[in-house]
């Protein structure tokens, strides 16, 4: 380089600046010039980037403020040594801090807790453990871990403070939820017991009620689930009470009509012993009958006997005809009430809002499909999906729109599914899809297809297009796995899908 003249070096310096895309500052020019000339390389002091760092470093506690002032002075002096010691000091601040509540200057933390204090805390935790249900496994595990650490006496107090802090935070949610669950359960039981005596004792019905109650009381309990069952039971109980009362009344009236009928017929003619005999037998049968089916054939017999008697009185004939008509009306009314009763019973398996299966219906389907899949050796998949950000739909557009969004989702899902797939409402905005003869990969594909379908079939509300998305977990049933276990896995998958940013499907 020594044989180059100054203008060559200057030209090459400018070329290198452009090539390396460096800003043409005096420092950069000087450094590259020295490099080309072959003299000592001068690295410019990075004042601007260091000042940018200084601006963003937090300066809240007195110690942080003091160190930031020292950092500013070191940059002014371009003093690398001073910079290094300030940075080390700043990094050490974090090592002693145990949480945002700790104030500077930090008190010297205790290395380990005094033994008696640790034992008292461990006992307190033992008591909490006894009152905690094991539903929230995370809180339970945290408590067990803390008790062990307190009794071992080796853990640093700073670690214990951190763990206690986390535990108390989670515990506050767990206890709040447990209290609410207890209240929900009690309300549910009261509802069943209050109504049980009002209803006529029917075995099928009682069994249905008991099943619903057992389903509701099966862990894992969630408030949403209790709320759902309570709403459904109220509906069924109300409809059944009403229908049964009206049905009993109609049957009673019909019996009275028939008794009058017989009485009149007996009066019309006393000439035939055979006729009397028939009437007496019919009257006795009707008196004993408790069901409509038992009364109808008797009525027919009475009618034909009456016809055979060739009624001679026109008045009596009209009277009997009127009675027959009223009897038929009652018959029709009872059939209608029976129909209502059947529909009320169907509610025990279906969700009234979306018409999908409810938890009880899902349990029955799962039992059937698991047995079938094991018999045929065919794969069986369950997908659990939860609508994303549903609370904000409710909050922004109202609860009725939220309900309509659920109905829309159920309709789209039904139309996108194969005929053998089954859809159930699992909780508030949670649905389960049961996919027979489906592997996990195919299940994921089916859920992804449903997601695509929802992006093309918008939910329209007052001309506003609302995009409904969901997060889902898909589990294929293991050879020995129960329905509850598979659904729990799918639930975990759904939770991971939420954690990963929602609107996605995760294999569980």
Ligand X SMILES: Nc1nc2c(ncn2[C@@H]2O[C@H](COP(=O)(O)OP(=O)(O)OP(=O)(O)O)[C@@H](O)[C@H]2O)c(=O)[nH]1
Which stretch, 32-40, 257-265, 331-339, 382-390, contacts ligand X (CB under 6 A)? 382-390
Q: Are strands 505-507 and 470-476 parallel, antiparallel or unpaired?
A: parallel
ω into 105 cis (within 30 of 0): yes
Beta-bridged to residue 13, according to DSSP, are none
Nearest to 193 by CA among 216, 209, 180, 204: 209
> And the tokens for 362?
């899902």
Near ligand X in 428-487, by CB under 6 A: 428-429
User: CB–CB of 368/436 below 8 Å?
Assistant: no
Q: What is the DSSP letter of 136?
A: S
- Shortest spacing between CB 213 and ligand X, in angstroms: 21
Q: Binding ligand X by CB under 6 A: which of 30, 394, 442, 461?
A: 394
Nearer to ligand X among residue 134 and residue 400 (C-beta): 400
Q: What is the DSSP letter of 478?
A: P
Q: What is the DSSP letter of 508?
A: -
Beta-bridged to residue 432, according to DSSP, are 384, 424
Q: Binding ligand X by CB under 6 A: which of 136, 363, 388, 421?
A: 388
Residue 86: which H helix or E strand, with range?
helix 80-96
Q: Binding ligand X by CB under 6 A: which of 161, 502, 503, 507?
A: 502
Nearer to ligand X among residue 121 and residue 487 (C-beta): 487
Which stretch, 33-41, 42-50, 243-251, 383-391, contacts ligand X (CB under 6 A)? 383-391
Terminal Cα distance for the chain, rounded: 67
> Under the criterion CB under 6 A, does residue 399 sit at the interface with ligand X?
yes
Which stretch, 97-105, 119-127, 268-276, 386-394, contacts ligand X (CB under 6 A)? 386-394
Rounded Cα–Cα distance for residues 339 and 342 (Å):
5
Rounded Cα–Cα distance for residues 92 and 341 (Å):
74
Nearer to ligand X among residue 351 and residue 369 (C-beta): 351
Which stretch, 52-60, 128-136, 396-404, 478-486, contacts ligand X (CB under 6 A)? 396-404
3-state helix, strand, coil in the chain (%, to 5): 70, 5, 25
Nearest to 60 by CA among 100, 29, 98, 30: 100
> Under the criterion CB under 6 A, does residue 11 sit at the interface with ligand X?
no
User: CB–CB of 98/140 below 8 Å?
Assistant: no
- Shortest spacing between CB 351 and ligand X, in angstroms: 9
Alpha helices in 217-272 (DSSP H): 223-268
- Shortest spacing between CB 400 and ligand X, in angstroms: 7
- Shortest spacing between CB 173 and ligand X, in angstroms: 13
Near ligand X in 305-364, by CB under 6 A: none
Near ligand X in 195-234, by CB under 6 A: none
> Under the criterion CB under 6 A, does residue 262 sit at the interface with ligand X?
no
Rounded Cα–Cα distance for residues 431 and 498 (Å):
15
- Shortest spacing between CB 410 and ligand X, in angstroms: 11
- Shortest spacing between CB 257 and ligand X, in angstroms: 46
> Under the criterion CB under 6 A, does residue 386 sit at the interface with ligand X?
yes
Which stretch, 145-153, 339-347, 401-409, 479-487, contacts ligand X (CB under 6 A)? 401-409
| Alpha carbon of residue 18 to chain centroid | 60
Across 339-367, b (16+ Cβ under 10 Å) vs e yields: ebbeebeebbbbbeebebbbbbbbbebbe
Nearer to ligand X among residue 232 and residue 330 (C-beta): 232
Nearer to ligand X among residue 343 and residue 396 (C-beta): 396
> Under the criterion CB under 6 A, does residue 389 sit at the interface with ligand X?
yes
Q: Binding ligand X by CB under 6 A: which of 330, 349, 498, 504?
A: 498
Rounded Cα–Cα distance for residues 139 and 416 (Å):
40
Q: Binding ligand X by CB under 6 A: which of 403, 449, 460, 500?
A: 403
Which stretch, 7-15, 64-72, 310-318, 391-399, contacts ligand X (CB under 6 A)? 391-399
Nearer to ligand X among residue 359 and residue 498 (C-beta): 498
Q: Binding ligand X by CB under 6 A: which of 402, 436, 473, 493?
A: 402
Interacting residues with ligand X (CB under 6 A): 386-392, 394, 399, 402-403, 406, 428-429, 498, 502
């Amino acid at each position: 380089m020594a044989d180059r003249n100054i203008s060559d070096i200057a030209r090459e310096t400018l070329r290198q600046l452009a090539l390396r895309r460096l800003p043409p500052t005096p420092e950069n020019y000087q450094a590259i010039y020295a490099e080309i000339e072959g003299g000592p390389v001068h690295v410019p002091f990075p004042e601007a980037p260091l000042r940018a760092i200084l601006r963003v470093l937090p300066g809240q506690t007195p110690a942080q403020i003091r160190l930031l002032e020292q950092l500013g002075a070191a940059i002014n002096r371009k003093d690398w040594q001073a910079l290094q010691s300030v940075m080390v000091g700043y990094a050490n601040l974090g090592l002693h801090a145990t949480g945002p509540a700790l104030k500077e200057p930090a008190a010297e933390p205790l290395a380990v807790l005094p033994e008696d204090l640790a034992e008292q805390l461990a006992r307190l935790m033992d008591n909490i453990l006894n009152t905690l249900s094991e539903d929230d496994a995370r809180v339970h595990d945290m408590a067990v871990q803390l008790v062990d650490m307190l009794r071992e006496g080796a853990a640093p107090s700073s670690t214990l403070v951190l763990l206690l802090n986390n535990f108390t935070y989670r515990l506050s949610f767990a206890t709040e939820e447990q209290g609410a669950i207890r209240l929900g359960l009690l309300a549910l039981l009261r509802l069943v017991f209050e109504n049980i005596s009002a209803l006529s004792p029917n075995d099928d019905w009682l069994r249905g009620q008991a099943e619903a109650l057992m389903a509701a009381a099966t862990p894992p309990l969630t408030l949403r689930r209790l709320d759902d069952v309570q709403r459904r039971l109220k509906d069924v109980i109300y409809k059944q009470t009403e229908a049964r009362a009206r049905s009993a009344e109609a049957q009673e009236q019909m019996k009275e009509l028939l008794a009058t009928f017989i009485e009149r017929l007996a009066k019309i003619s006393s000439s035939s012993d055979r006729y009397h005999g028939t009437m007496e037998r019919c009257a006795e049968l009707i008196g004993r009958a408790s069901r409509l089916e038992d009364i109808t054939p008797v009525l027919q017999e009475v009618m034909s006997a009456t016809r055979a008697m060739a009624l001679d009185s026109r008045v009596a004939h009209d009277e009997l005809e009127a009675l027959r008509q009223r009897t038929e009306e009652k018959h029709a009314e009872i059939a209608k009430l029976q129909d209502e009763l059947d529909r009320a019973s169907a509610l025990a398996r279906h969700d009234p809002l979306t018409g999908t299966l409810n938890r009880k219906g899902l349990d029955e389907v799962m039992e059937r499909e698991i047995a079938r899949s094991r018999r045929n050796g065919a794969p069986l998949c369950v997908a659990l999906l939860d609508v994303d950000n549903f609370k904000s739909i409710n909050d922004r557009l109202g609860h009725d729109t939220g309900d309509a969004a659920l109905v829309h989702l159920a309709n789209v899902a039904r139309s996108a599914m194969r005929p053998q797939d089954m859809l159930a409402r699992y909780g508030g905005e949670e649905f389960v899809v049961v996919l027979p003869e489906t592997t996990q990969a195919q299940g994921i594909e089916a859920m992804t297809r449903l997601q695509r379908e929802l992006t093309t079939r918008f939910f329209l509300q007052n001309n506003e297009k609302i995009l409904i998305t969901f997060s889902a977990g898909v589990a294929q049933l293991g050879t020995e796995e129960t329905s509850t276990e598979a659904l729990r896995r799918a639930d975990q998958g759904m939770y991971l899908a939420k954690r990963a940013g929602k609107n996605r499907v995760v294999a569980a």
